[in-house]
Structure 1
Amino acid sequence: MTLAPYACRPEDSRGRLYPETVSTFRSPFQRDRDRIIHSSAFRRLKHKTQVFVEHEGDYYRTRLTHTIEVAQVARTIAGHLGLNTDLAEAIALAHDLGHPPFGHTGEDALAELMAPYGGFDHNAQALRIVTRLERHYADFDGLNLTWETLEGIAKHNGPVTGDLPYALAEVNDAFDLELHTHASAEAQVAAVADDVAYNHHDLHDGLRAGLFSEDDLMELPVTGPAFAEVDRLYPGLEPMRRRHEALRRVFGVMVEDVIAVAETRLKASRPRSAQAIREMDGPIIRFSKPLYQNLKAIKSFLFQRMYRAPSVVKERQRVTAIVKDLFPAFLNEPALLPPEWQQDVARAADQTELARVVLDYVAGMTDRFAIQEHQRLFGGVAIRPTA
């Protein structure tokens, strides 16, 4: 495939922190993608929450299935725009590696617990995983990914300014990611693909969970017209097929809108390099203003009816308590950590460094392992509700 002038080219990569011989069969970005797929952190996404805790049902999205869907959307958009699909896919596959157990609920709990020790952010933790915590290679810690992939993980949501989470600051000090600029177009594609994927699948999962109905979605922008079109084309269609046909149209509306907006903006600005994309005054890959407003209405609906549904809130309280029990237990008694973590404990020079070791361990847990560890350490002690 011929790349556009503004695409990231593997031959122009800024390289890796630890120089390596170029692969005979794969480009640097393909190699990044493959290393991410084969990482331990990627496999653990299978048992980490998207919205519903992993054990609540076999059909709900997990963090892994969400990530695969994001990667698929990213490849589609990137390919149509002449971008480097391998880089877009690598960033998409890595974008959630830093998520702790129990999704954003676990992240909120750990951010509170880590406030005295430099904070916690899942994007920064993803960088820590791919630069330090994956320990499989003889020559380096981490995956030794290219600068472009690390940049995409760090700032696919835009420039990063202000106080940096310590994990991001460490990586940036070693390998300047130019945090003040926007990311490559490929990274921007991965970011918008994330929005497309969760807007689509959260509607699916909320319907399956019975938190709202198709009739509710008929009252919303984008989803209402999608269901109306299906009813016009396929009157009397059985409910599950009707749901799928409508939501696949919602999916298509989002993807087509992003591509149309990007084509218009790229034609108008005529960027001649990947760096020109980074130096623009805003993202080149985004939804149109009308669709963005419509999606805000859908997100507001999901916030009220799904993310803050009583059953979901109750589960959030339960798993928050698990995290808030586990973290201080390991911090106060590091000997509880597994033997392979004791070397990191021994190297910790102070309480802050020890807290970061404990964070790495707890954040790496899957939902089921966190629940098992809580049971092991606290037995039948009732999990207290949170305020």
Structure 2
Amino acid sequence: MESPSFHPENKLYEISRDCKRQDGNPLREAELEENRELGRTPFQKDYARLLHSASFRRLQGKTQLYPGHEDDFFRTRLTHSLEVAQIAAGIAQFLNIKKIPSEFGKHTQIDLDLVQFAALAHDLGHPPFGHNGERALDELMRSYGGFEGNAQTLRILSVVEKKLISLNDGTEVASHGRNLTYRSLASVLKYDKEISSKRNKTAEISKGYYSSERELVKQIKGHVAPRHGENKFKTIECYIMDVADDIAYSTYDLEDSLYAGFITPTYLFEAITPEGGESTSLRDQIFSEINGELEKEEYEKLDSPEKLSIVIAELFKFMDFKVEPENGGSQRARTALTLVEAQRFNSQYTSKPLEKEKLTAKRVGNLIRSVELVPNKEFPQLSRVRLNREKLISVELLKRLNFMLTIKSSRLTVTEYKGKEYVKQIFNSIIESDGNLLPEHWKLEYNLAKNSSQKNRVVCDYVAGMTDRHAAEFHGRLFSEGASVFKPL
């Protein structure tokens, strides 16, 4: 029985079961006749190729928010990606039932394998040591095309990862990249912008794709949405992945922070209330940034920053707790009771696992059901997916509070600062050694590079692929005493 995802009327995909686009163009970047397993769709094959890649496995050794060696409760990039994939599949299923049929016909469905592929792949390009590792590589690469996590993800899937492809005649051909469908590559193309080849030293990280992948991006657009022109290019699967990532970040990173004791519900509430000089500055900054996001989605802006306090109060249901004695009483008594109730309230979410799980599970379900579809009738595959206005405000508020109060806290900044220096010193040492510090297969890539720009990109690819532990160990072998010469790099 033919899958609805591959029905000839399916405008979201425009491909048939024989792995060819209906206009006859090839489905994959490498125009090779690969062995085709019966019953396996092209997107299921791409999903498998991602799942079995070294870059995907390395996500288990990359920090999401808190270093994994501190406690086995904390999420890594791998477990975060798995959660994003589950949420993304939930969004796609919701849209397939509630939204897609009425807009595009009963035979049209969003492919769950493709959506989950996008979610599992979305963090592949993140380097060791999080945001500061990304900044370090971008600073080192500004004269050679820059560095950015999303751009690196596309490069890993299309260039860095190697694969042997089995042909119908029994021979095997080595391929750069995983030889994925154009549609799968499009699902991780978050920013339709080429990063400038050279930027000044003070420039911020530029989000987009590298100039080295310019021709590939052109091919992706031509295969996925022919005749689309110069309008913004972003597929529906990429929109879903983006929303799922925001939901996971604003929910599960919050859970990790509650567990770690970095934040409490009352601390979040106090941080966003109007009182206090620093709090007011934080609140006003977040208020401005959230209004910017609302404007992007063409929603009505917030008219007052005080509304943000209500969002936190409703999330944690502050109104369920009494904070004053029933029969009045002295100011001292009221204050003492307020402190006791606040401590009792915080303990629900910091020391009671079931309460944290109840909060996150209920929140994720509500957010999935709040997703909206903005159909693109001319190019259905580029239809937008977004959260409704109320939920978008909640997600953006928690994302920003988590970033400013947790990621930017002095305790995490110390770790990330050290990581930034590790990345810079490793990179510069490899360049100074003319590539001799690279493992053999990477050294071959380095020696084949034609100019300094390409050589620097090879080193960047290698360092970006390191786990946190590998980078720390590599740095120790370069700059600490007692390192063994017998252990391979």
Correspondence for 2:384: 284
Shift of 1:6: 4.8
- Distance in 2, matches of 1:231 and 1:340, equals 61
Correspondence for 2:281: none
Where structure 1 has 5 or more consecutive residues not aligned to the other structure, the ranges are 382-387
Within a 5 Å distance, the mapping from 1:50-61 to structure 2 comes to: 50-61=64-75
- Classify 1:174/1:353 alpha carbon distance in 2 versus 1 (closer, same or farther; 3 Å): farther
Is 1:379–2:480 an aligned residue pair? Answer: yes
Shift of 1:209: 1.5
The correspondence for 1:7, drawn from 4, 12, 23, is: 12
- Classify 1:355/1:309 alpha carbon distance in 2 versus 1 (closer, same or farther; 3 Å): same
TM-score using structure 2 length:
0.68
The correspondence for 1:326, drawn from 422, 426, 431, is: 426
- Distance in 2, matches of 1:133 and 1:15, equals 20
- Distance in 2, matches of 1:350 and 1:54, equals 38
- Distance in 1, matches of 2:87 and 2:316, equals 22
Is 1:249–2:294 an aligned residue pair? Answer: no
- Deviates further, 306-315 or 17-26: 17-26
- Distance in 1, matches of 2:267 and 2:366, equals 19
- Classify 1:8/1:79 alpha carbon distance in 2 versus 1 (closer, same or farther; 3 Å): farther
Correspondence for 1:131: 158
The correspondence for 1:168, drawn from 207, 213, 224, is: 213
Shift of 1:123: 1.6
- Residues 189 and 238, structure 2, Cα contact 8 Å, conserved in 1: no
- Distance in 2, matches of 1:132 and 1:86, equals 22
- Distance in 2, matches of 1:194 and 1:202, equals 11
The correspondence for 1:20, drawn from 22, 33, 47, is: 33
- Residues 125 and 167, structure 1, Cα contact 8 Å, conserved in 2: no
TM-score using structure 1 length:
0.85
Alpha-carbon displacement from aligned partner over 1:111-167 (angstroms, at most 9, x marks no partner): 111101111122221122112222231422211000001111123xx5335645234
- Residues 243 and 386, structure 2, Cα contact 8 Å, conserved in 1: yes
Shift of 1:57: 2.4
Alpha-carbon displacement from aligned partner over 1:143-193 (angstroms, at most 9, x marks no partner): 1000001111123xx533564523432532565567853322122111111
Correspondence for 2:402: 302
More helix by percentage: 1
- Deviates further, 214-223 or 12-21: 214-223
Correspondence for 2:187: 152
- Classify 1:122/1:314 alpha carbon distance in 2 versus 1 (closer, same or farther; 3 Å): same
Correspondence for 2:115: 88
- Distance in 2, matches of 1:57 and 1:208, equals 10
Correspondence for 1:141: 176
Is 1:225–2:291 an aligned residue pair? Answer: no
Q: Which amino acid aligns with 1:325?
A: Q
Secondary structure at 1:114 match in 2: helix
1 or 2 for the larger relative contact order (CA 8 Å, sep ≥6)?
1
- Deviates further, 48-57 or 146-155: 48-57
- Classify 1:45/1:162 alpha carbon distance in 2 versus 1 (closer, same or farther; 3 Å): closer
- Distance in 1, matches of 2:249 and 2:44, equals 25
Correspondence for 2:276: none
- Classify 1:354/1:170 alpha carbon distance in 2 versus 1 (closer, same or farther; 3 Å): farther
- Classify 1:276/1:136 alpha carbon distance in 2 versus 1 (closer, same or farther; 3 Å): closer
- Distance in 2, matches of 1:286 and 1:37, equals 27
- Classify 1:338/1:288 alpha carbon distance in 2 versus 1 (closer, same or farther; 3 Å): same
Alpha-carbon displacement from aligned partner over 1:208-257 (angstroms, at most 9, x marks no partner): 1111113335665555324329969xx99772222221222222232121
RMSD: 2.7
- Residues 94 and 368, structure 2, Cα contact 8 Å, conserved in 1: no
- Distance in 2, matches of 1:297 and 1:175, equals 34
- Distance in 1, matches of 2:138 and 2:252, equals 26
- Classify 1:8/1:218 alpha carbon distance in 2 versus 1 (closer, same or farther; 3 Å): farther
Shift of 1:205: 1.1
Where structure 2 has 5 or more consecutive residues not aligned to the other structure, the ranges are 97-109, 165-171, 197-208, 271-308, 322-344, 483-489
Is 1:212–2:263 an aligned residue pair? Answer: yes
Identity %: 34
- Distance in 2, matches of 1:165 and 1:209, equals 37
- Distance in 2, matches of 1:76 and 1:63, equals 20
Q: Which amino acid aligns with 2:413?
A: V
